[in-house]
Amino acid sequence: MFLFNYKVLYIMNKIFAILSALFFMNVLVSFSQDTPVKGPQYEITVKQISTENGTATELGKIVIELMPDVAPLHVKNFDSLVAVKFYDGTAFHRVIPNFMIQGGDPNSKSKPRNTWGMGDPSQARVKAEFSSVKHERGIVSMARSNDPNSASSQFFIMHGNSPHLDGKYSAFGKTVSGLDVVDKVVAAKRNGENPIDKIEMTIRKLK
């Protein structure tokens, strides 16, 4: 009788050990699935250049985090452009309060203002990566023409919420800090949608 109980107890302990191991493995898997994977981060230094005397005034820094799990092609494209300092000296040339600020056109480095936003036809194009990410304040998305697959280097940061863009433009990042700088850009004096004093950017990768 004693031997039988010992065997039963031994088997029960083995079963308990196996079930416990399975439980903790399930917890670890669930934790890894529920924990969002952080993407690469970039710091955008924003300066305002006076049209009168060329004086540069730093407005601050915007830190964005990209979403490679949502838009891998756009993240790769953005990262490659930052790596060669493509964005340095370009402007936020299109500014609309309660909507967004747009920049990254190579024409805005040194070409006439009436060409800003037209882009360079020789630039590589990125295929659309539409997703369920909502175009809310702080979201980073790609500008394009009427062709959904025409994104190149121009991007925009949402100042307000614009649900009409959802599923039609490729969101690929979000603002981690510096929304107050976006507000400063929006508050700049403009000629239509174009800031009178050039609002220039420099972008570097943080991690």
The answer on 149 and 106 residing in a single domain is yes
Give how many domains the chain has, as a whole number: 2
CATH number for the domain harbouring residue 115: 2.40.100.10
Chain segment 96-113, per-residue pLDDT in tens: 999 999 999 999 999 999
| CA distance linking residue 11 with residue 48, whole number of Å | 74
The answer on 73 and 127 residing in a single domain is yes
Name which of 193, 183, 138, 141 is nearest 165 in CA terms. Answer: 141
The answer on 129 and 30 residing in a single domain is no
Chain segment 127-143, per-residue pLDDT in tens: 999 999 999 999 999 99
Chain segment 47-101, per-residue pLDDT in tens: 999 999 999 999 999 999 999 999 999 999 999 999 999 999 999 999 999 999 9
The answer on 196 and 159 residing in a single domain is yes
Q: Which structural domain range is residue 53 located in?
A: 41-205
Task: Give the max Cα distance, the chain.
Answer: 100
User: Please, which residues bridge with residue 195 across strands?
Assistant: 190
